[in-house]
Amino acid sequence: MKLKQISVFVENKPGSVGYPCKVLADAGINITTLTLADTKDFGILRIISKNWQEAYDVLKARKFAVSVNDVVALEVENTPGGLSRVLEALERQGLNVEYMYASVFGVHNRAVLIFRFDDTDSAVEKLAGCPDLKIVDSELFFSLK
Amino acid sequence: MMKNYNPVSAQDYLPRELLKQIQLQRLQKIVAHEYEHVPVYRERMDERGVKPEHIKTLKDIALLPFMMKKDLRDTYPFGLFAMEMSDVVRLHASSGTTGKPIVVGYSKEDIDVWVSCMMRALVAAGVGPGDIIQNSYGYGLFTGGLGAHYGIENLGATVVPTSGGNTERQVMLMRDFGVTGITCTPTYFIHLCEKALQMGLDVRDFPIRVGLFGAEPWTEEMRKRIEGLSGVEAFDIYGLSEMSGPGVGIECECHSGLHIFEDHFYPEIIDPDTCEVLPDGEEGELVFTTISKYAMPMIRYRTRDITHIIDEPCACGRTIRRIARISRRSDDMFIVRGVNVFPSQVESALLAVEGSLPHYRILLTRRPDGLDNMTVEVEISGGFDKIKTLEELQAKFSHSVERILGIHAVIKMVPPNTIPRSEGKARRVFDNRMNPTNQ
């Protein structure tokens, strides 16, 4: 039900995002989706890849400040109000969203959003019992095109 | 008591009274020698009305004029030599980053004394025959390489003269030779451990158990990092070319200050402003007199290092006195917005924060309005996916620095391997305040 996300700490300067991407490319690792969070001084490149373990190892070996954590992918209706219905459902469950971003690929004409919760395990538990929300598991997620 | 005892260290355990007699005899002899052979210093003594025969007790050393680094530059290259070149068997020189280099010369006997001190330093760190010591101090004009080399060799340990640089090869040799100890700067050793990790190797799995680290000031926080990273016991070794080179002092297994080989280097602590001699225990500038070095004696040489003398007996049994670890050098000090800052204070502040890596540098710039900015770059390890966590870490660094220095610094966290590594002495401070094009 959860997806593994790789986070790479980068400086906010030219080339700093390109380099880790190049390292993954050279290792033949495909990035399924990604997002870049940035501040004035630094950024965090968050990557979701089917080969996350390999991605982590190859980045670690190149001395990147890299970490792995769990995120959850949720289906969101591709119509006005789709996202706000999901967010309201999360709020009813008392789930706090640390950050979220959209996946490059959708499923069944619906969008897929990646969510980072405080406590992913308890979030997944609550989401599973919530009929308004549909989790995209990793098998389905990595089959999306 | 007397763990690691080796006869080469006999002088470390002399009764204090006997040691003082030896010091006085040697001091009287060296002052007479200096007066006779070095006109520059004789003139200064004459100006003060001091003659060698006025040195009747050790305390009378206070009658003598000081020497400073400037004197070495002003008399470049051989103006302070007290022997004919035919009696001088070796010359060393500093890198001379600021103006002329300083040159030091040694007679055959001076070299012997230097080697004996280096041997005593190695013994204090638990090194002996059977040990294989990788000497990664630079070989050449710098005293570190050859100084450590001959000490290791004469002690009967095996020296691997790698010098600095070619770090991957150093890692390989360290593993393949079963190296048990290393001599280098603390910065370079960390670089070496990290290089090993990049090669898929862990120095903690190697047989190496001891390191003698010197040639730059380092902190207790850095010791913890080194020991955690490598599993070696880290000893602080002190020396300076003006005295001889490495092996003026070293920590024993108690790691509570550095024993000074004071039968050859007579230490004093002075108030750097009034030049008054301070009692043991009070902090001030360290001053040394080389009481056994004849080719180029240094009388009351002001080291610019700030410390105090510890005169309580040490649990190791050595009777030679200790100095507190030197973490502050007047030469390294810089002033930001009226506050005196030592790089070691910044080091302590940064390494006290979990998540920091032992690589940092300090950048000083001047804003157009004339105010100085201090930016501290520090490498951080991984483990973050939230901006919030990173901002919290940044705030921790900021508070830690501000608490220790009392001034605000801009903290710039950078990924591992961003700050250039040094193969010798680390350069920590980059002062661009007088250089507006670099801002």
Task: Summarize pLDDT for A41-77 with one digit per residue, the tens.
Answer: 889 999 999 999 999 999 998 889 999 999 999 999 9
Mark whether B64 and B21 lie in a shared domain. yes
For residues B243 and B186, state if they share a domain. yes
Nearest to A65 among B198, B382, B386 (CB): B382
CATH topology of domain A74-141: Alpha-Beta Plaits (3.30.70)
Which of B266, B295, B327 finishes a domain?
B327
- Long-range CB pairs of B420-423, under 8 A, 24+ apart, other chains included: B421/B187, B421/B191, B421/B359, B422/B185, B422/B187, B422/B188, B422/B191, B423/B138, B423/B164, B423/B165, B423/B167, B423/B188, B423/B191
Chain A residues whose beta carbon lies within 8 Å of the beta carbon of residue B388: 98
Indicate yes or no: CB of A98 within 8 angstroms of CB of B415: no
User: What is the structure's pLDDT at B253?
Assistant: 96
The alpha-helical segments, DSSP class H, found in B105-185 are 108-124, 143-155, 167-176
Residues of A with CB under 8 A from a CB of B: 5, 7, 9-11, 16, 37, 39, 41-42, 44, 46, 60-61, 63-67, 69, 98-99, 116
Q: Verify that B293 and B342 share a domain, yes or no.
A: no
Residue contact B382–A66, C-beta within 8 A: yes
Local structure of residue B426 (DSSP, 8 states): P
Owning domain of residue B383? 334-438
Same domain, B359 and B301: no
Same domain? For B92 and B173 the reply is yes
Contacts of B194 in chain A (CB under 8 A): 63
Report the residue of A42, A48, A99 to disrupt the B interface, i.e. the one with the largest count of B CBs within 10 Å. A42
Looking at residue B354, which CATH number applies to its domain?
3.30.300.30
Do B90 and B170 belong to one domain?
yes
B384, B412, B418 ranked by CB distance to A7: nearest: B384
Choose one of B327, B361, B377: the last residue of a domain.
Answer: B327
User: What residue in B sits closest to A47 (Cα-Cα)?
Assistant: B385
Which residues partner with A115 through β-bridges? A72, A100
Residues of chain A in contact with residue B384, where contact means CB-CB under 8 angstroms, are 7, 9, 44, 65, 67
Question: How far away is chain B from the Cα of A131, in angstroms, using its nearest Cα?
Answer: 29
Residue numbers in chain B where pLDDT is lower than 70? 1-4, 95-99, 436-439
Q: For residue B57, give the CATH number of its domain.
A: 3.40.50.12780
**Alpha-carbon dihedral B228, B230, B234, B236, rounded to 10 degrees:** -100
**Contact between B413 and A7 using a beta-carbon 8 Å cutoff:** no
Same domain, B224 and B105: yes
Res B438: pLDDT? 47
Looking at residue B1, its pLDDT comes to 47
Same domain, B120 and B264: yes
Residue A77 amino acid letter:
E
Question: In A9-97, which ranges are continuous DSSP H helix?
Answer: 18-26, 52-61, 82-92
Question: In this structure, how many other beta carbons lie within 10 angstroms of the beta carbon of residue B11?
Answer: 18
Interface mutation vs chain B, best among A41, A46, A96, A120, most B CBs within 10 Å: A41
Q: Rounded to a whole number, what is the distance in Å from the CA of A76 to chain B's nearest CA? A: 23
Same-domain pairing of B266 and B369: no
Contact B386 A44 (CB under 8 A): yes
Query: Between chains, do A5 and B415 touch, taking CB under 8 Å as contact?
Result: no
Domain final position from B283, B309, B327: B327
d(CA B58, CA A32): 78
Closest Cβ opposite residue B385 in set A7, A42, A64: A7
Q: Which residues of A touch B198 (CB under 8 A)?
A: 61, 63
CA of residue B196 relative to chain centroid, distance? 26
B313 & B345 share domain: no
How far is the C-alpha of B352 from the C-alpha of B355, rounded, in Å? Answer: 9
Residue B277 DSSP code: B
pLDDT average, residue stretch A71-98: 92
Indicate the number of domains in chain B: 2
What residue ranges in B29-87 does DSSP mark as E strands?
none
**Residue B406 pLDDT:** 86
B274 and B373 share a domain?
no
Asked whether residue B404 falls in the same domain as residue B298, the answer is no
The ranges assigned to domains in chain A are 3-69, 74-141
Residue identified by tokens 């030469």 is B331
Contacts of A66 in chain B (CB under 8 A): 382
CATH topology of domain A3-69: VC0802-like (3.30.2130)
**Contact residues of B toward A, CB < 8 A:** 194, 198, 200, 380-388, 390-391, 412-418
